[in-house]
C-alpha cells in the first residue's frame, strides 16, 4: 500500500478524564482508501505501529488499522492532556503467567483511565472508562462461521442457537453473542486463550459472569459491537462517531464535538442490555 504521510504535531492540553460511572464509546470508520495516503496522519504512531500498517496484504486492512490507532492515540491524548505520540502505553501482567503481555493499558496515576480498542473490516470501536473495559466489533458472521464456531461455545449458548430454526436469526444471534464474548475476554486480559466455552454470554443476562455488565452497541447494518464493563451498569453511556477529518494531518479529536449522543442503557424483554440511540450508522 502507499506510504502514508506524516502531519503536524498536536499540542498537549489539560486532562479530561471521564467521570466515575461514565463510559465513552467512540466509533471509527476507516479513512477512504483513495485519499488515505494523502490525508491520513501517521506521524503520531510508533515505529512498530507504522510497520504494522505497512505489513497488511490488503490495503483496506492497513488503512483500517492505521485509522483505528490514530484515533486511539488522539482520543487518549485528549483525555490525558498529552500529545498523541506521548501516550504511555504498557501491557498489564497476563492473568495466566503474569508476564507483561496482558491487556493494553496506559500509565496514569489515580484516578485510572482504562480503554479497549477493536477493529474489523473498515470499522473500529474504542471504549474509555475509569473502570476495566473490553470492546469488540465484528463483521456480521457468515453461515460457515456460525457452523464452525458454535461447537466451541458454552453449552447454554449452543442450546440458544439451536432453538432458532431460522438461519438468518441464528446468524444474527451468534454475531451478538460472539462480540459480547470477545469483549468480555478482552476485559479479562486473556483473549481467546481462555476457552470460549467456559463462560456464558448468551441472551439471559442473569446467567452471565457475576460482576460484569455487557452492552450490545448500535453499529450499523454490517457489524456487531459490544462492550464489557467491570461492575454494574454505567451511569452514563455515550456513543460518538469520530469524524473522518479528525484523523487527518493538522486535525484533532474534540471530546466535545457536535454529534455527541447520550445513549441510555435499555433492558430488552430477553434480558439483553443494549446501548440504544436514535442515530443512524
User: How is 100-115 classified by DSSP, letter by letter?
Assistant: S-SSEEE--PSSP-EE
Predicted local distance difference test score (pLDDT) of residue 258 = 58
Q: For residues 27 and 247, is the Cβ–Cβ distance under 8 A?
A: no
Proportion of the chain above pLDDT 90, given as a percent: 67
Cα–Cα distance measured from residue 252 to residue 250, given in angstroms and rounded to the nearest whole number: 7
State yes or no: pLDDT of 245 exceeds 60: yes
Residue 66 banded pLDDT, cuts 50, 70, 90: very high
What would the grid cell of residue 208 be? 452471565
For 147-166, how does the pLDDT look when each residue is reduced to its tens digit (9 = 90+)? 999 999 999 999 999 999 99
Tell me the mean pLDDT in the region 109-127: 92
Predicted local distance difference test score (pLDDT) of residue 256 = 84
Q: How far apart are the first and last CA of the chain?
A: 28
Nearest to 263 by CA among 225, 208, 230: 225
Predicted local distance difference test score (pLDDT) of residue 12 = 53
* Cis upstream peptide for 261 (omega within 30°): no
Cα–Cα distance measured from residue 84 to residue 103, given in angstroms and rounded to the nearest whole number: 20
For 34-55, how does the pLDDT look when each residue is reduced to its tens digit (9 = 90+)? 888 889 989 999 999 999 999 9
What would the grid cell of residue 15 be? 486532562
Residues 6+ away with beta carbon under 8 Å from 168: none
DSSP code, position 233: -
Nearest to 22 by CA among 266, 187, 280, 233: 233
What would the grid cell of residue 128 be? 474509555
Predicted local distance difference test score (pLDDT) of residue 133 = 97
Q: For residues 262 and 236, is the Cβ–Cβ distance under 8 A?
A: yes
Amino acid at each position: 500500500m502507499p506510504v502514508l504521510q506524516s502531519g503536524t504535531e498536536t499540542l498537549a492540553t489539560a486532562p479530561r478524564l471521564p467521570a466515575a460511572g461514565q463510559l465513552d464509546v467512540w466509533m471509527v470508520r476507516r479513512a477512504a482508501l483513495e485519499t488515505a495516503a494523502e490525508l491520513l496522519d501517521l506521524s503520531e504512531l510508533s515505529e512498530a505501529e507504522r510497520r504494522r500498517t505497512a505489513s497488511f496484504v490488503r490495503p483496506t486492512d492497513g488503512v483500517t488499522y492505521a485509522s483505528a490507532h490514530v484515533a486511539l492515540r488522539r482520543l487518549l491524548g485528549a483525555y490525558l492532556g498529552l500529545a498523541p505520540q506521548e501516550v504511555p502505553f504498557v501491557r498489564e501482567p497476563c492473568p495466566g503467567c503474569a508476564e507483561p503481555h496482558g491487556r493494553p493499558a496506559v500509565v496514569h496515576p489515580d484516578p485510572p483511565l482504562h480503554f479497549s480498542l477493536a477493529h474489523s473490516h473498515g470499522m473500529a470501536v474504542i471504549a474509555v472508562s475509569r473502570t476495566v473495559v473490553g470492546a469488540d466489533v465484528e463483521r456480521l458472521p457468515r453461515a460457515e462461521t456460525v457452523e464452525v464456531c458454535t461447537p466451541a461455545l458454552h453449552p447454554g449458548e449452543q442450546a440458544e442457537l439451536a432453538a432458532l430454526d431460522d438461519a438468518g436469526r441464528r446468524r444474527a444471534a451468534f454475531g451478538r453473542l460472539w462480540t459480547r464474548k470477545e469483549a468480555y475476554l478482552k476485559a479479562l486480559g486473556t483473549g481467546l486463550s481462555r476457552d470460549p466455552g467456559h463462560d456464558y454470554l448468551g441472551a439471559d443476562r442473569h446467567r452471565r459472569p457475576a460482576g460484569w455488565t455487557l452492552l450490545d452497541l448500535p453499529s450499523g447494518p454490517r457489524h456487531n459491537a459490544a462492550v464489557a464493563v467491570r461492575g454494574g451498569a454505567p451511569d452514563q453511556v455515550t456513543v460518538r462517531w469520530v469524524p473522518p477529518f479528525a484523523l487527518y494531518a493538522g486535525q484533532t479529536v474534540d471530546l466535545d464535538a457536535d454529534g455527541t449522543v447520550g445513549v441510555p442503557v435499555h433492558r430488552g424483554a430477553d434480558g439483553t442490555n443494549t446501548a440504544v440511540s436514535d442515530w443512524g450508522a
